[in-house]
């Protein structure tokens, strides 16, 4: 049974492909009219090479309705050029297909060039990130403990471990560093608020509370927390239902010491985390 000729709207995927390969320009040779204006309004026209309806320009009775609305039978033109191509003697099917092909070849080159430029612009921003080495951390200990009781060997060990782990810290993604800073600033060292409170130098934060203070999607939030966990700067305690901030491979939890320091002396953590300069604690 012969299919009834019916004009079908192009599919979403077809329109997306047309718009992408249009380069936001009319396909007619020499015309540079935009398909979308500066406000994002579509001002072009979706045109058929072989008409969608009987009586239209270059109508082909042997095509199906699906073929008529297919990507291969469509191109984008401005209004003036659409009127111009209604002259079927001057612009038969083979000429219209050539116009579409040549325009989209140029657009493909532009898209390919844009992708290459994007690819070449990617860079690891952490490669140029450096931290300032601490030399003693004496101010940190003296302020928190009242006196620096460490031996010379212990000072050397603390400095070595601190500088080494901070170098690892700054190699995390900027998002991870930023979320850690927010978590650290909101974290508590009050053991009385914990159900068990086992251990010393505890500094912790609540997952839900921190999530409510930032404006990112939860899957992104979880992904950043996973990065911090993988790098051993936070850990989750099932008993307490809290995240604990830890300083990797170190007996003293320097994050705890820095938090306690902030209760006794003013400290600019925005500057510290932006410049990775912890030398104020020397």
The predicted-structure confidence for 1-27, as pLDDT tens digits, reads as follows 678 888 988 999 999 888 888 888 899
Please provide the average confidence, as pLDDT, over all residues in the chain.
91
* Res. 195 pLDDT band, cuts 50 70 90: confident
Asked if residue 262 belongs to a domain, the reply is yes
Tokens of 57: 């320009």
- Is 90 found in the same domain as 53? yes
- Is 217 found in the same domain as 110? no
Transcribe the chain into DSSP letters: -PPPP---PPPHHHHHHHHHHHTTB-SSTT---BSB-TTS-B-SEEEESS-SSTTSTT--TTS-HHHHTSGGGEEEE-HHHHHHTT-TTTS-HHHHHHHHHHHHHHHHHHHHHHHHHHHHH---GGGG---BPPS--HHHHHHHHSS----HHHHHHHHHHHHHHHHHHTTS-HHHHHHHHHHHHH-B--GGGSSS--SSS--EE-HHHHHHHS-S-HHHHHHHHHHHHHTTSEEEETTTTEEEE--TT-SS-HHHHHHHHHHHS---HHHHHHHTB-GGG-
pLDDT mean over 243-264: 96
Asked if residue 4 belongs to a domain, the reply is no
- Is 208 found in the same domain as 70? no
- Is 275 found in the same domain as 259? yes
pTM (predicted TM-score): 0.60
Of 92, 121, 150, which closes a domain?
121
- Is 153 found in the same domain as 112? no
pLDDT tens figures, 45-66:
999 999 989 998 999 999 999 9
Whole-angstrom distance, CA of residue 124 vs CA of residue 143 = 37
Asked if residue 202 belongs to a domain, the reply is yes
User: How many domains would you assign to the chain?
Assistant: 2
- The whole domain housing 261 covers 126-281
pLDDT mean over 205-224: 92
- Is 55 found in the same domain as 98? yes
Q: Which residues pair with 74 in a beta bridge?
A: 48
- Is 190 found in the same domain as 168? yes
Cα-trace Rg, the chain: 32
- Is 183 found in the same domain as 50? no
Asked if residue 7 belongs to a domain, the reply is no
pLDDT tens figures, 127-169:
788 999 999 999 999 999 999 999 999 999 999 999 999 999 9
Asked if residue 217 belongs to a domain, the reply is yes
Residue 113 has pLDDT above 90, yes or no: no
């Amino acid at each position: 049974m012969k299919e009834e000729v019916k004009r079908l709207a192009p599919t979403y995927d077809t329109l997306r492909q047309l718009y992408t390969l249009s380069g936001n320009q009319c396909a007619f040779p020499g015309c540079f009219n935009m398909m979308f204006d500066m406000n994002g309004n579509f001002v072009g026209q979706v045109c058929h090479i072989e008409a969608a309806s009987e009586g239209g320009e270059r109508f082909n009775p042997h095509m199906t309705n699906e073929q008529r609305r297919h990507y291969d039978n469509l191109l984008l033109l401005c209004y003036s050029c659409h009127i111009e191509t209604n002259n079927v003697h001057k612009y038969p099917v083979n000429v219209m297909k050539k116009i579409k092909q040549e325009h989209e070849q140029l657009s493909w080159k532009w898209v390919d060039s844009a992708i290459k430029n994007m690819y070449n612009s990617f860079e690891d921003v952490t490669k140029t990130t450096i931290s300032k080495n601490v030399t003693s951390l004496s101010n940190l200990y003296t302020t928190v403990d009242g006196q620096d009781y460490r031996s010379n060997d212990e000072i050397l060990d603390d400095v070595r471990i601190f500088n080494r782990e901070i170098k690892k810290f700054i190699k995390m993604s900027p998002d991870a560093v930023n979320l850690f800073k927010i978590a650290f600033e909101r974290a508590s060292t009050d053991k009385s608020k914990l159900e068990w409170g086992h251990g010393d130098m505890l500094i912790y934060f609540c997952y839900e509370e921190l999530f409510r203070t930032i404006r990112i999607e939860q899957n992104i939030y979880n992904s950043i927390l996973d990065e911090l966990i993988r790098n051993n700067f936070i850990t989750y305690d099932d008993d307490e239902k809290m995240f604990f901030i830890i300083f990797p491979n170190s007996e003293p939890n320097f994050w705890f010491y820095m938090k306690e320091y902030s209760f006794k002396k003013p400290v600019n953590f925005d500057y510290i985390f932006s410049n990775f300069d912890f030398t104020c604690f020397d």
